[in-house]
Structure 1
Amino acid sequence: MVVDTDISDLLRDAGSDRLAVFVASCTERMAQLFTGLRGTDPDRTGDVDLYLQILEELWRIDLPGSAFSARAASLQEFAELQPSEEGIVAVDDIYAFYAVLCMRYAVLCRANGDAEDAVRCAHASLTALGQLDQNLPQSRLFEGEREHQRRVMFTDIGADRALPQLRELDRAASRERLLAVKSRLEK
């Protein structure tokens, strides 16, 4: 699922603060797919804690890129990013993978400032939700993600309450996605 051309172009022309907010927002909307699907596994407690810690750091726009360099290596150790001969076939594994992939690109974007990593972050979200829509009748999560991406690009990130309000909307979207995946798991 391809990122809208206008959003890709805006990301490529964006400053570092806009990129930081964009990738934090994308990751927030995907976060509960990881924490909600992996949080009940006692063997993954450390990964869930690290995921949440990195998510908080992504929202700290003032953190320098150097703060994220080691985070990319840490994420590479997650089971979701390890090569597998069987591939990823279980529903919960698929969406946890996309949540980690989204965060990986967000961290890379913050570490190196490359807008292409922000585009990849957006692409990972859209792909996950496009697949989910294909498997759930009348689901419109893909279109919802496109709207969220547009909202982030046109939000006045300098306004006092802009980021907390944006984050609350993202959290609500994340909950909705987790519920959709859980409903798919019940089928």
Structure 2
Amino acid sequence: MLERFPDLQPRDEEVTDVAGTYTFFAALVLRYALLANGSGSADDAVSCGHVALTAMGMLDQHVAGAGFRTQEQRLQLLSVSGDAAGLWEASIDAGRERCRTVLGRAAGSSG
């Protein structure tokens, strides 16, 4: 079903705009998260984590001093450590911060 998302469809030209780049990564993370949840596959879970780290690394390259990749890596380590206290809240806060940052980048690149 997710393969129907326009962001996951093959296209002739590369995605180069801010919104297109991060919606692609969001759809891909969601795809792997759903696959891992449905199958229990460690490979799908690793792919999900890798895509999230890649996206945050790209965001770090465009936002001086952001540290989103390090934050994502810390959240991923917490999720498998067995001590996930506060992980849900931390993930929500991180997601909101990332969303604000991407929206700010998109607004800054539209003019």
Q: How far has the Cα of 1:183 moved from its partner?
A: 2.1
Name the TM-score, length of structure 2 as normaliser: 0.89
Q: Which runs of 4+ in 1 moved over 2 A?
A: none
Name the TM-score, length of structure 1 as normaliser: 0.55
1:166 aligns with 2:52: no
Q: Please list the CA deviations of residues 48-74 of structure 1 after superposition, one character each: whole Å capped at 9, or x if unmatched.
A: xxxxxxxxxxxxxxxxxxxxxxxxxx1
Which of 34, 52, 58 is the equivalent residue of 1:125? Answer: 52
Q: How far has the Cα of 1:111 moved from its partner?
A: 2.1
Q: How far has the Cα of 1:137 moved from its partner?
A: 1.1
Q: Give the Cα–Cα distance (whole angstroms) in 1 for the partners of residues 20 and 67 of structure 2.
A: 21
Aligned length: 108
Q: CA RMSD in A?
A: 1.4
Unaligned runs of at least 5 residues, structure 1 = 1-73
Query: For residue 184 of structure 1, what is the amino acid of its counterpart?
Result: R
1:149 aligns with 2:76: yes
Q: Please list the CA deviations of residues 97-133 of structure 1 after superposition, one character each: whole Å capped at 9, or x if unmatched.
A: 1111001011111222210100000001000010011
Contact 2:36–2:45 (CA<8 Å) still a contact in 1? Answer: yes
Unaligned runs of at least 5 residues, structure 2 = none
Q: How far has the Cα of 1:166 moved from its partner?
A: 2.1
Query: For residue 71 of structure 2, what is the amino acid of its counterpart?
Result: G
Q: Please list the CA deviations of residues 9-51 of structure 1 after superposition, one character each: whole Å capped at 9, or x if unmatched.
A: xxxxxxxxxxxxxxxxxxxxxxxxxxxxxxxxxxxxxxxxxxx
